[in-house]
A and B are shown apart, each in its own frame.
Chain A
Amino acid sequence: MTDESLRSTHEIELESRRTAWQARKRHVARKHTVGKLLLSLAVYTLAVSFFLPLAWLLSSSLKNDKQIFALPPIWIPKPVMWSNYVEALTSARFDLFFRNTLLIASVTSVGVALSSALVAYGFSRIEWPGRDVLFFFVLSTMMVPYQVTMIPLYIVFSKLEWVGTYLPLIVPYFTGSSFYIFLLRQFFRMIPMELTDAARIDGCSELGIMWRVILPLARPVVTVVVLFRVLDAWGDFFEPLIYISRLRQYTLSLGLLLFQGMYFTEWHLLMAASAAITIPVVIVFFFTQRSFIEGVTFTGLHGV
């Protein structure tokens, strides 16, 4: 008591001002965390709603033919019909469709990665007159809608008797693709020229340089290219639609459409088939998502 009375009014004033400031700082910090909490709530709610359709896909795929039509909607099926998957996938030749799709996906991804890498190397690691002008043409082709080229291409393929084979779906990918050429070229450009110069002085051929110097460094981007193409081929729908007519050659997308035509009221089976096609791709994505998203942002950012 006596201590306090010994304090000057100045000290008391300083002390009260300090505690007031601390209180205000606490108040602001609390407002920030409250704001952050609300924000998190908003984002997580959105995330849940984005995930709901996929959850519903899974849920529906495991229901029996009564629960699928239940009102109000049932989220957790009882009994869990794992047999739906077996029934759906054996009612049509999904094993065949799977093998066909895998064939196309693997062949085209290797083809497009190799050819695009070759082309991208030419556009980035060698200096030659007219290079950048030609590259502009590479970019400009991306603006041509596929509808313009698809009709004459179909006619040509039809005259070559390639319609009804996989050739129209595979061959074009061996000439590179504008998108992947662009992606790879942007990446190759970032590798210092000293590396290639040094290799050239050492007498390495251009192809050798590409194979031994650039490609190992570019492994992440090339992986992205392969991934993108596999994913595209998996869900590809339009080209198989116009070029493939025999059931034996159907891909997964066509197979699923066929299945829908046969079992369109049996939603539980349709959902099982749809989920069966989706799950492999989601799994691959989970293991490679970082490379994936990096690939997308890389083109998006350096796109303009």
Chain B
Amino acid sequence: MIRRTLARLRSMSRRERRRLAAGLLFVSPWIIGFLAFKIYPVVASFYYGFTFYDIVRTPHWLGLENYRDLLTDRQFRIAIANTGYYTLLSVPSGLVAAYLLAFLLNQKLYGRSLLRTVFYLPTIVPTVSSAMLWLWIMDTQFGLINATLASLGLPGIPWLSHPSWSKPSLVLINLWYVGNTMVIFLAALQDVPQALYDAGKVDGANWLQQLVHITIPLTTPAILFTLITGLIRASQTFSFPYILTKGGPADSTLFYALYLYRTAFVYLRMGFASAMAWILFIVIVIFTYLVFKSSGRWVFYGSD
């Protein structure tokens, strides 16, 4: 391969070579960053995954021991279950809510841009501020929700203070952030050619049939994109479990990213944490691949 590249370099015209040099020069900041901040760390963390490393002492080779320990680590299994639960609930609910909102906003209503702003606004609020706000709104005694319920004579719900409610609460909070996805769906909806709807109406399709047979199929590329990015993001959820519940109560919100963070920066078990990080990486790649594979069957790209 190297011989082939060298031969190719030699056979290039002067202009081609100049363009290659220029291209590489422009791209060089990224190449440097890629090597230093992506390639090196990825390889290094793969290596660390097989060692015991607390930064202070030099890494101590352990072979597969980290991975074997993970299999029997109770909190690791809890973290996977919690993250899986959250991802499985938050991603579909988020996508459906975003799609529904986008669909509603796409009807010619008054004040559309104001509505769009209101739905998008939550995604602008700084993470920690949001966390404090939701901590307060979901406070079991004095929070807005329970206080309102109490004033109606209804019992309060232990949103963040009971293991059975903590994860559902996080899923609910996540719904507040659908603005981002909604905006993407809105643009995709607006790209559906009106001619198709007109043809559908001529054939006597009602609004539901139009939705199912025209709107949804033509927006499947956007659905694929948001599905994949949503899965990737959900599996790395850290901030709210860290700030709101600190992994509790009773490890019910011990998410994968939180457990990883603790293992690395609190217990200083860098090797163990690296192994965890790689498992996450591989799982994400597998799931992304599976979703992509399946997409051939349900994604519909334009001009068929």
Contact = CB atoms under 8 A, between A and B. Distances in A.
Interface of A: 36, 39-40, 42-44, 46-47, 50-51, 53-54, 56-57, 60, 68-73, 115, 118-119, 121-123, 126-131, 134, 137-138, 141, 143-156, 158, 172, 174-176, 181, 206, 210, 231, 234-238, 242, 252-253, 256-257, 260, 267, 270-271, 273-275, 277-278, 281-282, 285-286, 289, 292-293, 296-297, 300-301, 303-304
B127 A253 contact: yes
Contacts of A126: 19, 22-23, 26
Given A148-B278, A274-B133, A53 B122 contact: yes
B121 A43 contact: no
Contact of A119 (B27, B133, B187, B285): B27
Nearest to A256: B128
A143 B285 contact: yes
Given A237-B239, A238-B238, A175 B36 contact: yes
Interface residues of B, number: 94
B278 A277 contact: no
A297 B208 CA distance: 26
Given A121-B26, A148-B45, A176-B29, A301 B132 contact: no
B7 to A, nearest CB: 13
B129 A73 contact: no
B297 to A, nearest CB: 15
Nearest to A39: B107
Contact of A153 (B37, B180, B184, B229): B37
B22 A256 contact: no
Contacts of A273: 132
Contact of A128 (B24, B109, B110): B24
A236 B188 CA distance: 29
Given A175-B30, A297-B187, 6 more contacts: A56-B136, A71-B151, A257-B128, A275-B129, A278-B125, A301-B187
A71 B44 CA distance: 55
B232 A145 contact: yes
